Amino acid sequence: MKILVVCTGNTCRSPMAEGILKYLADKKNLNIKVRSAGIMAFVGDSASDNSVSILKDMGIDISNHRSSLVNDYMVDESDIILTMTSSHKDILIKRFANARNKTFLYNEYAYGKYTDISDPFGGNIYRYEKTRDEIYKASEAIIEKIANK
């Protein structure tokens, strides 16, 4: 299974989600490939220092992450596309016709809830930790859902 995680700049939320999903999938020996991208990303940016730091505390290394701009190839090859906000979802569906039936909000896929993942960009470390914890909890539900299919 191939999962694409999408946020705005691909430096905070989606790299954290990518790292966490990979970590949890590896723990369960699931054959899941995860990548992330942004709808307005500058190609080649590193993950934010706070994102790298708070995942490192959990044993998850995203220090080699480089941002990508979502493109047709990524959408085509993905089985599931998970977005951080409803606006990300709307933009993807408008921009990529084949995204419609496989694009979900992160919390929608995890819990059936149509709620956004908060954006820590520009916030302090505690805001990043809150977002990380939100993503981690939803990621556990996502991995369980996939494992039980």
DSSP letter (8 states) at residue 66: B
Closest CA relative to residue 83, chosen from 4, 9, 6: 6
> 12 catalytic, yes or no?
no
Of the residues 35, 95, 119, 133, which is catalytic?
119
What lies within 8 Å, CB to CB, of 2 at 6+ separation is: 32, 33, 34, 35, 77, 78, 79, 80
> 119 catalytic, yes or no?
yes
What lies within 8 Å, CB to CB, of 94 at 6+ separation is: none
Q: Across-strand partners of 34? A: 3
Of the residues 12, 13, 35, 132, which is catalytic?
13
E-assigned strands of 57-125?
A: 80-83, 103-105
Of the residues 7, 35, 116, 132, which is catalytic?
7
Query: Which residue numbers are catalytic?
Result: 7, 13, 119
